[in-house]
Amino acid sequence: MSVTTEITGERHVYMTDNDQRVVAVWLLVCCAVIFAMIVLGGVTRLTGSGLSMVQWQPIMGVLPPLNQEDWEHTFSLYQQFPEYKIKNLHMTLEEFKGIFWLEYAHRLLGRLIGVIFLVPFLFFLLRGMLSAALVPKLLAMFILGGLQGLMGWYMVKSGLVDDPRVSQYRLTAHLGLAVIIYGYLLWTALDLLLGRRGRPRADFQDDPAGNPLRFSTLITGLVFLTILSGGFVAGTRAGFTFNTFPLMAGQLYPEGMYVMQPWWKNWFENIATIQFNHRVLATLLFLLIPLFWWSSIRRTVSGELRMALHLLVVALMVQIVLGITTLLYAVPVPLAAAHQAGAMVLFTVALYLSNRSRTVTIQHGIETTGR
């Protein structure tokens, strides 16, 4: 139960330590399911399954086809759209089931996330286990989750037209919103679980700006930007071209990068420019994260933070290897899915460090934890 106290005439509601732990674990479970959802979404795209369900039925869509008649009806709906007529004209019903089940699992998992979030939220709210400050944050998360479902259908609709390929803009927006929701949940969970843990090092007290961990926010933002860049690579299928490294078609700076007009469209529609930009962002991370690690490890003595800093470098190196290998082998599904999962692991560790960096910030002699 939350605890209410009177402070200078105002009422402040705080959660007990046990309530904080319970709610934090619930949010971390939600994060784990969203992580799986993001990876499954990548597999759905890579296998060409995303356009197999041509209707959006938030309630009735929970049930898959249950008999032969249902399957034939569902397949007939799919046959009316360009993906079947242009790409899969000779597809059999059994082959259709293969791509249908992946997209169905993706949508079902999205609905499951809503249940996993809403039911415990209502329970905690009725039991008085949530602080007044936390409730609006949780409501915002739920609204974002609903908007994500709408964004997913908006993305699918872009592929149910003459060109059976979803818009790279909508795909990247769908991916970006999923990562934002994941980050919001994780940040809140970390605040609840670890917000009061740890004391800052004494040598930061007189010079809070001297804390090298303050750059963790920059690193986190750059990782997020690289993930968005990867969304455009996926949406334009840019990974299936220039399958060499480090050069692209034998050149460091390939031809045709800025042939589109206006020039800014090259960043989002020119596959040469899109892949080049993704490589540049990955290279920046390859240079900045080791530098960040070196500058932080010299001053940070906390075993918890040291482990996170080491893990950040390991996650980066694994992700770089996965990215290069995925490119060289022309985007095989297992490697590409692992690469997407690796991006989320890297984002998770960077966000953790960004959250924990506040425990070494002192303002006027009071520890600032962002709570």
Taking only the tens place, the pLDDT of each residue in 224-265 is 999 999 999 999 999 999 999 999 989 988 988 999 999 999
d(CA 173, CA 179): 10
DSSP state of 87: I
Give the residue among 278, 268, 291 at the shortest CA–CA distance from 245: 278
Rounded (5°) CA angle 198-200-201: 125
Q: What is the C-alpha separation between 106 and 40, in angstroms, rounded?
A: 6
Expressed in angstroms, the distance from the first to the final Cα of the chain is 18
8 Å CB contact between 284 and 229: no
The single-letter DSSP state of residue 366 is E
Residue 360: per-residue pLDDT: 52
Q: In the prediction, which pLDDT does 304 show?
A: 80
* Residue ranges of the chain with per-residue pLDDT less than 50: 3-12, 197-209, 361-371
Pairing mode, strands 366-367 and 362-363? antiparallel
* Amino acid 58: pLDDT: 76
Rounded-to-integer distance, Cα 75 and Cα 92, Å: 9
Alpha-carbon span 142 to 75, nearest angstrom: 33
H or E segment and range at residue 65: none
Confidence at residue 214, expressed as pLDDT on a 0 to 100 scale = 74
In the chain, what are the domain boundaries? Answer: 1-194, 203-371
What Cα–Cα distance (Å) separates residue 130 from each residue in 2, 7, 118, 197?
Answer: 7, 19, 14, 20
| Amino acid occupying residue 195 | G
Report which residue type is found at 65. P
User: Residue 277: how many CB atoms within 10 A of its CB?
Assistant: 21
The DSSP letter of residue 248 is: B
The confidence score (pLDDT) of residue 200 equals: 43
For residue 246, whether the previous peptide bond is cis, meaning omega lies within 30 degrees of 0, is: yes
